[in-house]
Amino acid sequence: MSFENVIQYFIAGITTGSIYAIVAIGFNIIYNTTGIINFAQGEFLMLGGMISITLVQFVPLPFAICAAVLITAGAGYLLERTFIRGIKNPTPLRMIIITIGLSILIREAALHIWDEKVRSLPYFTGNEITSIAIFGAHFSPQVLWVLGTSALIVVFLNFFFSYTTTGKSMRACASNRIAAALCGIDITKMVSLSFVLSAAIGALAGCVISPITQTQYDCGTSLAIKGFTAAIFGGMGSSTGAIAGGLIIGIIEAASISIIPLAYKDAITLTVLLGILIFRPGGLFANGDASSKVDRP
Amino acid sequence: MKKTRYISLALFAAGIVACQLIFTALGTDYLLIQLTMSAYYALVVIGLSLLMGYAGQISLGHAAFFALGGYLTAVFSTNQLQEVVSHEMLTRLSRIGIVYSSDAHDALYRLHPALSLPTVIIVTIIIAIIIGIPILRLKGHYLSMATLGFGIILYRIFLGTKVFGEADGISNVAPFDIPGFFPIGGESSFRVPNYYFAWFLVIIALVLLLNIIDSRVGRALRAIHDSEEAASAMGVDTGRYKLIVFIISALLAAIGGFFMTHYNAGIGPSEAGIMKSVRYVSIVAVGGMANLWGCLIMGVVLNYLSLRGYFGSYDDAVFGALLIAIMVFAPNGIFKKEIFDKIRHFVSRIPCRFSK
């Protein structure tokens, strides 16, 4: 394999990988405040992509994306308000089944609203054939948009969780719910906020990746599973882990294409997932007691 | 086995016979086709009910076992066999009777039916053990994601491998033809015997599962379901029991897939898809998890409605909505006294509202 090819695969890998990282962070935000794995996480990306594709016919691209993010965030709030908040006894099994049900409903709704055609947003700069060359490898400027947006999301979230009162309250909620409630933090509000936030970043990621991978009503599932793999890879709940996990999964996937048939691409990622779940359920960077992670409801 | 069990089983068998008689009398015996298929799906559902309801272990990959049984027998009984075994080998094997050619002119070699079912059973057990031992140690989200992952891996393999017919699946699967017995297949002249055969399998599985639930294994399972730690502390070998149940439910799914493929004369990759697995889970949830009869009835009713096309293009949406509705309003299923009490209470108050 030539050097150019390696660069090419690497760039393709970190591009999709950064999206997986955003999905993984979305998982983490909700998991940290509620202990729920939201199986409908991938659907937020699909919704973001689809809504912006519809809106871009009427308004300029930046407005379409902003509107798509806001609408999806609203949808995230509605989901939490309608289906999650009322559950009095949230056992993991129940929450898994409910969020799976939600993801199916969103997907089917999207199928009936937008049919099964594959769509995509226009390229943010240039078009399909514009390319930038680095070390002899050619890639679309959209790659820079994806990487830049992902980096921006990470920086923003980092700032939000470290320096704002709301962000700190959410972290308090994550580390000890009862203590946080005793300190006067409104837990219900934080849970809502976590759904809104993860829907919003999901939608944004769905918009920027749309020109490259295209958007279809059922594209959420595979993104969600890859994102979950990334989250598990880095250790559930850890943001840095999620980024590293996402990038590694992306690169493994891109590299696997050069060795095995494209048809088995998903199978490789999932084998990685099974391997991690079986051997290191606390994540690749976990130190010590991984079983406590497994036991967490 | 308790006496009431016999009565339930007898009533159930009577219901099966009644359905056949009524449909035949009305001249609508094509409806038996969907009922036969529902029976094969019901095998998966009752197995999953044992796993989810009694042992408390979720599986989002059971469609993969169903498809495994189906795909293996499809490979064994079509031209696909020549993709994996060379021609010389096949001729040699046919001499000793392991494979045989159904038609002297047509060089279509098939694995002998008496061998294909045991092979499928053995392969399923081996895969269930290999997968089950590591992933049954996981809990909650992790277990569900691991089983989902396993399901998707098999789905991708079926979808991307030439032997399994890639996206088209395998068609023209010959009937399961044991000499001296009627062929298990879609031929209309054998529709009624096939119907009874499918339901006979379900009743056998049901008796087996009811006995397991009533036995030492069943008690151990209930203990695991309530608290794995407590059960383990009381000396229950939790890992072993969970694995046994996983294997049993995987086997029931594979056997269902096996006969379904012969009955339909083909199988496609969608049988292994996530939506199928989720569908089985939703049927078990609606049936009340630890309620074999409830799961069985819902399995038949929902699959029958779906196969007859009553849900139209909202097929998947119906199952998604069911999942949410059940989990939000009636997490113990719809066959529970409290639900009927709630409804009775609600209905009994209606006159009061109007009398004011």
Among A107, A264, A270, beta carbon nearest to B149: A270
Tokens of residue B146, six digits:
């691991």
Per-residue model confidence (pLDDT) at position A2: 78
Q: A-chain residues within 8 Å CB-CB of B60?
A: 100
Per-residue model confidence (pLDDT) at position A296: 39
Amino acid B344 reads R
Tokens of residue A111, six digits:
């199928």
CA end-to-end span of chain B: 53
Angle CA A66–A72–A73, to nearest 5: 90
CA distance A24 to B304: 39
CA distance B176 to B163: 20
Q: A-chain residues within 8 Å CB-CB of B145?
A: 37, 225, 228, 232, 273, 277
CA distance A107 to B224: 35
Per-residue model confidence (pLDDT) at position A286: 63
Q: What average pLDDT does this structure show over B165-178?
A: 83
Among B148, B156, B282, beta carbon nearest to A267: B156
Which spans in chain A are helix H?
A: 3-34, 41-55, 61-79, 92-114, 141-163, 165-175, 177-182, 187-213, 219-233, 239-259, 265-279, 291-295
Give the pLDDT confidence of A179-201 residue by residue, as tens digits.
Answer: 888 988 888 899 999 999 999 99
Work out the pLDDT band at A289, boundaries 50, 70, 90. Answer: very low
pLDDT of B139 over the 90 cut:
no
pLDDT of A207 over the 90 cut:
yes
Work out the pLDDT band at B288, boundaries 50, 70, 90. Answer: confident
Per-domain boundaries in chain B: 3-327
Q: What average pLDDT does this structure show over A86-98?
A: 80
Q: Say what the alpha-carbon torsion angle A69, A74, A78, A84 is, to the nearest 10 degrees.
A: 50
Of A121, A85, A143, which Cα lies nearest the Cα of A215? A121
Q: Does B193 touch chain A if contact means CB atoms closer than 8 Å?
A: no
Length of chain B: 356
pLDDT of B22 over the 80 cut:
yes
Per-residue model confidence (pLDDT) at position B3: 72
Work out the pLDDT band at B354, boundaries 50, 70, 90. Answer: low
Per-residue model confidence (pLDDT) at position B128: 95
Cβ <8 Å between A297 and B140: yes
Q: Which CATH number applies to A22-295?
A: 1.10.3470
Q: How many Å separate Cα B295 from the centre of its chain?
A: 11
Q: What average pLDDT does this structure show over A50-72?
A: 93
> ipTM of the predicted structure?
0.85
Which chain B residue is nearest to residue A263, measuring alpha carbons?
B160
pLDDT of A290 over the 70 cut:
no
CB B80 within 8 A of CB B74: yes
Per-domain boundaries in chain A: 22-295
Per-residue model confidence (pLDDT) at position B176: 84
Cβ <8 Å between B134 and A278: yes
Q: What average pLDDT does this structure show over A239-258?
A: 89
Give the pLDDT confidence of B221-256 residue by residue, as tens digits.
Answer: 888 888 888 888 888 888 889 999 999 999 999 999
Cβ <8 Å between B159 and A263: yes
pLDDT of A95 over the 90 cut:
no
Cβ <8 Å between A225 and B156: no
Work out the pLDDT band at A171, boundaries 50, 70, 90. Answer: confident
Cβ <8 Å between A274 and B285: no
Which chain B residue is nearest to residue A267, measuring alpha carbons?
B153
Give the pLDDT confidence of A106-151 residue by residue, as tens digits.
Answer: 999 999 998 888 888 888 887 777 778 777 777 888 888 999 999 9
pLDDT of A294 over the 70 cut:
no
Strand partners, A132: A139
pLDDT of B294 over the 50 cut:
yes
- Residue B190's contacts (CB-CB under 8 Å, 6 or more residues apart) are B182, B183
- Residue B349's contacts (CB-CB under 8 Å, 6 or more residues apart) are none
Give the pLDDT confidence of B183-209 residue by residue, as tens digits.
Answer: 888 787 888 889 999 999 999 999 999
Tokens of residue B43, six digits:
């095998």
Q: B330 to each of A240, B175, B226, B320, B334, how far by Cα in Å? A: 39, 42, 19, 15, 6
Mean pLDDT score across all residues of chain B: 85
pLDDT of B83 over the 50 cut:
yes
pLDDT of A288 over the 60 cut:
no
Amino acid A129 reads I
- Residue B96's contacts (CB-CB under 8 Å, 6 or more residues apart) are none
Per-residue model confidence (pLDDT) at position B277: 93
Among A101, A264, A266, beta carbon nearest to B324: A101
Q: What is the CB neighbour count within 10 angstroms for residue A271?
A: 17
Task: Identify the top-confidence range among A32-46, A87-101, B84-98.
Answer: A32-46
How many C-alpha atoms does A230 have within 13 Å on its Cβ side? 34
Cβ <8 Å between B134 and A294: no
Among A97, A108, A221, beta carbon nearest to B281: A97
CA distance B9 to B20: 17
Q: Does B320 touch chain A if contact means CB atoms closer than 8 Å?
A: yes
Tokens of residue A241, six digits:
């882990």
Task: Identify the top-confidence range among A21-35, A194-208, A235-249.
Answer: A194-208
Cβ <8 Å between A270 and B152: yes
Q: Is A140 left (phi over 0), alpha (psi -120 to 50) or beta?
A: beta
Cβ <8 Å between B285 and A97: yes
Q: Say what the alpha-carbon torsion angle B87, B91, B97, B102 is, to the nearest 10 degrees.
A: 70
Helix A92-114, helix B315-329: angle, nearest 10: 150
Q: Which CATH number applies to B3-327?
A: 1.10.3470
**Burial (CB count within 10 angstroms: exposed 0-12, middle 13-18, buried 19+), residue B149:** buried
A127-143 as b/e: b if 16+ CB within 10 A: eeeeeeeeeebebbbbb
Tokens of residue B9, six digits:
């089983």
pLDDT of A9 over the 80 cut:
yes
**Burial (CB count within 10 angstroms: exposed 0-12, middle 13-18, buried 19+), residue B212:** middle
Give the pLDDT confidence of B38-69 residue by residue, as tens digits.
Answer: 999 999 999 999 999 888 888 999 999 999 99
Tokens of residue A133, six digits:
């060359």
